[in-house]
């Protein structure tokens, strides 16, 4: 019973250390995503990596390529690294 409790506790703590907002369409061809990662998941670098992975996958699913329009990074002691990215999916030339 104690082992099960520790396993569930570890899973909850790991999940709370990194999260993604998902991808939101903000106009016809522009999208935004936000990610957060504590030091265990790489702080700002980890958050940016997660965001770029999500964006690249989203654009590739449409047969398009990723173009980052803006990036805002921040760090807070308790929330870790946060990254807000605005991007577009361009048709390859």
pLDDT of amino acid 29: 85
Query: Residues near 65 by Cβ (< 8 Å), separated by ≥ 6?
Result: 59, 89, 90, 91, 92
Q: Can you tell me whether residue 63 is helix, strand or coil? A: coil
| 18: confidence class by pLDDT, cuts 50, 70, 90 | low
pLDDT of amino acid 75: 86
Tokens of residue 85, six digits = 């990215």
Contact 61, 53 (CB under 8 A): no
Distance from CA of residue 73 to its chain's centroid? 12
Contact 79, 35 (CB under 8 A): no
pLDDT of amino acid 85: 94
Inform me whether the pLDDT recorded for 33 exceeds 70: yes
pLDDT of amino acid 13: 47
Domains of the chain (ranges, CATH numbers): 2-90 (3.30.1360)
């Amino acid at each position: 019973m104690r082992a099960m409790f520790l396993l569930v506790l570890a899973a909850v703590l790991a999940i709370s250390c990194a999260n993604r907002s998902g991808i939101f369409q903000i106009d016809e061809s522009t999208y935004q995503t936000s990610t957060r990662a504590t030091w265990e998941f790489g702080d700002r670098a980890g958050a940016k990596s997660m965001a770029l992975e999500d964006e690249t996958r989203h654009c590739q699913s449409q047969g398009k390529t990723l173009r980052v329009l803006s990036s805002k990074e921040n760090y807070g002691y308790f929330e870790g690294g946060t990254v807000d990215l605005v991007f577009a999916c361009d048709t390859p030339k």
